[in-house]
């Protein structure tokens, strides 16, 4: 490693308004994407698994001013890569690119940390590009204990001594670790990358160990440490950043990317005792829990698991962007673990991908799992001002020993997707408050909407609103076509200097209490509406006041470019759908024309089919779905083993290949699919295929249409032809 003690700063004077790409050494460059910013090439690095990233810094037009907007172009190497749609997250930014073949182009107003992929493609084998647009950092400080790591590849870990500052130049890549063992007053700064690819067994969970060169950043009994601007790439089955009995840490503008083909035991940051730490303005992509808290972790033997641990306390995570392929955003506790925790805050952050499946409890924004003799007191957790994109459930607090109290979920804005499974409060859990949780265009006011199951002595949560402004809006007309004027009207707020900001989902925005807009196409926000001729636009309203209060509301608006007429001859029908039952187990949806029917019947809902004693089966439903009025309809389909929705002969939504849960569970995770279509009023032919091969529970079908928010498709909307059902 080429290191020098810097006695005189030679850092270049910034050119205001310029773009500064962060160089990538040849051995790390990826050929999956090419990126330009204002026409200037930005090199793309391979991170881990199928994940890539590119970094550049922006200067303001003059000192103290905002950064100058830039134009970003991303070209995929694979032909047709973007044909099925484009997803740029965080959704809160309201971004939609222009698409031309393999290239997408979009305008970036300022610094951001973006995830760019295809709709719904975020599991461990997903092809994803992370784009980091930052503010150019200061050059290295001057001093006798300042070490500068020059651009290029270095195959040696960094192990600072107390009082030292290490500066990684842009383009510096350290193949190893940052070891912070028993040190204090240390700084690790710059725009460098640490790539950890250690010796861990990919089939075993030995990434917990506290020893040098075992994590991207490992800290043991360290104090007063700053880590700024570092990118951590983790290619092994190990915890990315481990904090063992360490305090006084600041992580600022840190980017952590973990890609593990096994999709497990690759956390973002773990605290094993300690705390008094701040993580801000950072990005985490993990293949397990993003943040986890334990009092200790000394192995998986019973005596190691049960050994009492140290307190974890006073941790703030803020202004960050968080993503995981599976597992939780925040987890505390574990069966048999004994420790205390208090005062954890996650705020002002975007949750891009919030887990899928379960390990004991289902995955969630927050999970506490205290079972099998676990003990301890845990209090003062706050989750506030969070934007949820893809998510699985809100909370899983399941304990039979620890005591949990004072947990607040405030201003939780689920931008576009409903929760996929129930949240749970079980055991000694009290003082839970849910204040201003929104999804599906409505505000949650009770357990049934979360949905939340409360039992085993847990105290009912309290629901309420937050003082200040409230975002809500209406859309007129209810039927929207390409080029048609749409009027958006916000619920008026009292007080002076209230600002209404609209993001229309097509990359444009406006301000004002009442605004009008025209959509130039029916492709939708994710550019996936071409096949069905109807696109769903993600419309966001942000309301702020002079006191700094803010609130958000999101609604999906379907713009119709192609209409489907009601079916002829469907004037007289009977309630319920006809179904055919098939016995068997399939890894994915089979060709039912080649399968043997074992039963017929009529079902009012997807839960009404008689399985005739079979535990593994498929049901295929046929009949009609009644659209109450002309309009654009979106359908949300949720299933564990698989489901497909076909309307008027068109595949509207279908869950992809099942994905197994972890931790030995034999079941599949709940999958989500959505589609939009323009329907004329009346009955439309519907065909629904469902599997229940390895997982109990029937699929769920929800819809949103003109004049109503997201809800389950009612039994009254389903019918079949008025003829007798033929028995086998």
Hey, what CATH topology would domain 17-58+60-134 get?
A: Dex49a from penicillium minioluteum complex, domain 1 (2.60.350)
pTM for the structure as a whole: 0.95
Could you tell me whether strands 312-318 and 269-280 are parallel, antiparallel, or unpaired per DSSP bridges? Answer: parallel
Tokens of 325: 């392929």
Burial letters for 608-620: b for 16+ Cβ neighbours within 10 Å, e otherwise?
bbebeeeebbbbb
Residues of the chain with pLDDT under 70: 1-17, 60-65, 723-728
pLDDT of residue 6: 39
Tokens of 145: 């204990």
Where in the chain are all domains bearing CATH 2.60.120.1560? 573-721
DSSP-derived 3-state class of residue 633: strand
Superfamily of domain 473-561: Immunoglobulins (2.60.40.10)
Tokens of 622: 């046929």
Hey, what CATH topology would domain 573-721 get?
A: Jelly Rolls (2.60.120)
Answer whether 303's CB lies under 8 Å from 340's CB.
no
Question: What is the CA 23 to chain-centroid distance, rounded?
Answer: 28
CA distances for 655 relative to 416, 439, 636, 690, angstroms: 17, 21, 10, 10
Where in the chain are all domains bearing CATH 2.60.350.10? 17-58+60-134
Three-class SS string for 521-554? CCCCCCCCCCCCCEEEEEEEEEEECCCCCEEEEE
Given its phi and psi angles, is residue 30 left (phi above 0), alpha (psi -120 to 50 degrees) or beta?
Answer: beta
* Cα 33 to Cα 154: distance, rounded to the nearest angstrom: 25
Where in the chain are all domains bearing CATH 2.60.40.10? 473-561
Question: What is the CA 714 to chain-centroid distance, rounded?
Answer: 29
Residue positions counted in the chain: 728
The pLDDT tens digits for 317-362 are 999 999 999 999 999 999 999 999 999 999 999 999 998 999 999 9
Identify the CA nearest to 93 among candidates 523, 504, 439.
504
Please list the residues that pair with 500 across neighbouring strands. 543
Tokens of 607: 């839960």
């Amino acid at each position: 490693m080429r290191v020098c003690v810097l006695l005189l700063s030679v850092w270049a004077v910034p050119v205001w308004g310029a773009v500064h790409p962060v160089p990538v050494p040849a051995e790390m460059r990826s050929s999956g994407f090419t990126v330009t910013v204002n026409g200037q090439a930005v090199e793309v690095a391979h991170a881990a698994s199928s994940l890539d990233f590119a970094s550049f810094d922006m200067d303001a037009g003059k000192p103290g001013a905002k950064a100058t907007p830039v134009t970003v172009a991303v070209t995929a190497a694979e032909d047709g890569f973007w044909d099925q749609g484009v997803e740029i997250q965080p959704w809160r930014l309201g971004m939609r690119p222009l698409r031309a073949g393999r290239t997408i182009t979009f305008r970036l107003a300022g610094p951001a940390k973006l995830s760019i992929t295809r709709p719904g493609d975020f599991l461990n084998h997903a092809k994803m590009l992370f784009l980091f647009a930052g503010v150019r950092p200061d050059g290295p400080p001057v001093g006798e204990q300042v070490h500068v790591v020059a651009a290029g590849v270095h195959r040696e870990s960094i192990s600072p001594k107390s009082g030292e500052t290490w500066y990684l130049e842009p383009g510096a890549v350290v193949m190893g670790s940052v070891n912070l063992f028993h040190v204090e007053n240390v700084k690790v700064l710059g725009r460098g990358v640490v790539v950890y690819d250690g010796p861990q067994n990919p089939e075993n969970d030995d990434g917990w160990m506290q020893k040098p060169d075992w994590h991207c950043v490992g800290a043991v009994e360290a104090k007063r440490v700053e880590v700024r601007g570092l990118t951590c790439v983790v290619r092994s089955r190990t915890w990315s950043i481990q904090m063992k009995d360490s305090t006084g840490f600041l992580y600022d503008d840190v980017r952590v990317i973990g890609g593990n083909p096994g999709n497990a035991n690759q956390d973002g940051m773990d605290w094993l005792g300690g705390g008094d730490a701040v993580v801000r303005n950072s990005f985490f992509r993990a293949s397990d829990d993003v943040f986890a808290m334990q009092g200790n972790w000394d192995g998986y033997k019973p005596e190691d698991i049960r050994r009492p641990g140290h307190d974890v306390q006073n941790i703030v995570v803020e202004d960050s962007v968080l993503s995981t392929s599976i597992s939780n955003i925040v987890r505390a506790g574990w069966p048999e673990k004994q420790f205390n925790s208090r005062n954890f805050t996650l705020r002002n952050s975007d949750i891009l991908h919030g887990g899928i499946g379960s390990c004991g409890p289902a995955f969630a924004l927050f999970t506490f799992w205290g079972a099998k003799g676990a003990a301890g007191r845990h209090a003062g957790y706050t989750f506030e001002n969070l934007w949820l994109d893809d998510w699985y459930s809100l909370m899983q607090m399941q304990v039979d020993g620890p005591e949990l109290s004072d947990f607040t979920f405030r201003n939780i804005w689920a931008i576009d997707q409903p929760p996929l499974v129930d949240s749970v409060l079980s055991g000694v859990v009290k003082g839970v408050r849910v204040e201003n949780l929104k999804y599906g265009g409505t505000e949650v006011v009770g357990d049934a909407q979360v949905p939340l199951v409360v039992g085993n002595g847990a105290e009912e949560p309290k629901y309420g609103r937050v003082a200040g402004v409230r975002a809500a809006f209406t859309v007129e007309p209810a039927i929207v076509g390409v080029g048609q004027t749409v009027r958006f009207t916000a619920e008026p707020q009292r007080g002076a200097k209230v600002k209404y900001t609209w993001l229309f989902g097509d990359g444009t925005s406006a301000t004002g209490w009442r605004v009008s807009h025209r959509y130039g196409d029916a492709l939708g926000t994710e550019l996936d509406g071409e096949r069905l001729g109807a696109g769903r636009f993600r419309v966001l309203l942000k309301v702020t006041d002079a006191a700094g209060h803010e609130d958000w509301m999101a609604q999906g608006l379907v713009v119709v470019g192609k209409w489907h007429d009601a079916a002829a001859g469907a004037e007289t029908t009977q309630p319920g759908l006809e179904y055919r039952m098939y016995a068997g187990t399939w890894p994915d949806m089979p060709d039912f024309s080649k399968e043997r029917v074992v039963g017929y019947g009529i079902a009012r809902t997807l839960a009404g089919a008689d399985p005739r004693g079979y535990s593994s089966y498929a049901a295929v439903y046929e009949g009609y779905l009644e659209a109450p009025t002309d309009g654009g309809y979106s359908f949300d389909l949720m299933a564990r083993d698989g489901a497909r929705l076909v309307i008027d002969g068109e595949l509207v939504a279908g869950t992809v290949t099942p994905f197994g849960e972890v931790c030995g569970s034999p079941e599949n995770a709940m999958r989500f699919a959505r589609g939009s279509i323009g329907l004329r009023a009346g009955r439309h032919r519907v065909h629904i295929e469902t599997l229940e091969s390895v997982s109990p529970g029937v699929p769920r079908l929800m819809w949103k249409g003109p004049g109503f928010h997201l809800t389950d498709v009612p039994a009254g909307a389903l019918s079949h032809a008025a003829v007798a059902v033929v028995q086998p």
